[in-house]
Amino acid sequence: MRFDILTLFPDLVSAVLGESIIGRACKSGAITIKTHQIRDYSTDKHHRVDDTTYGGGMGMLMAAPPLYNCFQGVKRDRAQDGFTGTSRVIYLSPAGSLLTQSKAKELADYDGLILLCGHYEGIDQRIIDELVDEEISIGDYVLTGGEIPACILVDAVARLVPGVLSDPKCHEEESISSGLLEYPQYTKPAVFHDRSVPEVLLNGDHAKVDRWRLEQSLERTRERRPDLYEKYMAEHPEPEKKKRR
Ligand code: SAM
């Protein structure tokens, strides 16, 4: 899968995505991440990319021409690389719809994503109208730029791409993916600061372990995310019964 990220701060993106599992996935070729410096596409002699907003108001807005030119640059770069797959253009924006695990799964089915990072007060609406398929927000708060949201989206999507995680089953049992929050987990030592690992995890009875984990997941989800709990229970009327068995 290929990610093209249009940004004013490519070093920020590379620093985050060049490490750990995503960094290794790039090296192995499971995914490709390319950053594109929007400023390089400004025709202004000072390489300006922003301007004041029509109608007045505080702050600066990223202007359409450098953004449009940068998209053209991405197109050329993809053509040079022989990329012809399915693709979607996303503008990271607090005004977008919320990024969820099911959205990440949906996006992982594309061969490529083009991610546009805004800055300042955002970007000229005409770029959204002409070039963007979808606006995505990573949460109900406002950040200074779209780079961190883009990294979050890449991370969430890339780990669903075959070959990125060592075992594809890893993400099936996790919080949210399964519809429930994950149960508590423990590793060695068995006792830490007088706190013991729950007995049930030490006795090798896998059926009991499974039951305990489901019970913990249900309990946590009910307490912390009643919205998820209700949805899960409507779709799986059985687990409460299994828990009591
Ligand atoms: N004036 C904009 C508004 O009210 O919707 C906010 C602009 S914000 C200060 C600058 C940039 O940060 C945005 O263009 C967007 O790319 C990014 N950004 C900020 N918060 C975000 C969020 N929650 N999700 C995704 N992107 C976000």
149 lines ligand 1 (CB under 6 A): yes
- How much is the pLDDT for 74? 98
- How much is the pLDDT for 242? 62
Q: How confident is the model at residue 244 (pLDDT cuts 50, 70, 90)?
A: low
More confident residue, 241 or 11: 11
- DSSP structural state of residue 38: G
Closest CA to 152 of 100, 228, 88: 100
Taking the complete model, does pTM exceed 0.85, yes or no?
Answer: yes
Closest CA to 142 of 211, 215, 212, 93: 93
Q: How confident is the model at residue 39 (pLDDT cuts 50, 70, 90)?
A: very high
Q: Are 120 and 61 in contact (CB under 8 A)?
A: yes
Domain spanning 2-158: CATH 3.40.1280.10: yes
Residue limits of CATH 3.40.1280.10 in the chain: 2-158
- How much is the pLDDT for 177? 81
Q: Are 162 and 136 in contact (CB under 8 A)?
A: no
Strands 195-196 and 134-137: unpaired
128 lines ligand 1 (CB under 6 A): no
Q: Are 36 and 5 in contact (CB under 8 A)?
A: yes
221 lines ligand 1 (CB under 6 A): no
d(CA 162, CA 166): 9
- Cross-strand bridge partners of residue 43: none
- How much is the pLDDT for 149? 98
The arithmetic mean of pLDDT across residues 204-216, rounded, is 97
Task: Share the mean pLDDT of the chain.
Answer: 95
What is the per-residue pLDDT across 176-198, written as a single tens digit (0 to 9) for each? 888 999 999 999 999 999 999 99
- How much is the pLDDT for 240? 63
What is the per-residue pLDDT across 223-237, written as a single tens digit (0 to 9) for each? 999 999 999 999 998
Q: Identify the sign of the CA torsion 7, 10, 13, 14.
A: positive
Task: Say whether pLDDT at 141 is over 80.
Answer: yes
Q: Tell me how far the alpha carbon of residue 71 lies from the centroid of ligand 1, in angstroms.
A: 19
216 CB-side CA count, 13 A:
14
Task: Say whether pLDDT at 241 is over 70.
Answer: no
d(CA 83, CA 81): 6
The arithmetic mean of pLDDT across residues 68-79, rounded, is 98
What is the per-residue pLDDT across 157-167, written as a single tens digit (0 to 9) for each? 999 999 999 88
The arithmetic mean of pLDDT across residues 141-159, rounded, is 98
Residue limits of CATH 1.10.1270.20 in the chain: 174-244
Give the residue, out of 143, 147, 153, with the most ligand 1 atoms within 8 A of its beta carbon, to mutate for a pocket test. 143
95 lines ligand 1 (CB under 6 A): yes
Output 235-240 pairs: Cβ under 8 A, ≥24 positions apart: 235/179, 236/179, 239/214
- How much is the pLDDT for 237? 83
Q: What's the topology of domain 174-244?
A: Trp Operon Repressor; Chain A (1.10.1270)
Q: Tell me how far the alpha carbon of residue 120 lies from the centroid of ligand 1, in angstroms.
A: 8
Task: Say whether pLDDT at 213 is over 60.
Answer: yes
More confident residue, 17 or 168: 17
- How much is the pLDDT for 235? 95
- How much is the pLDDT for 243? 59
Q: Are 175 and 217 in contact (CB under 8 A)?
A: no
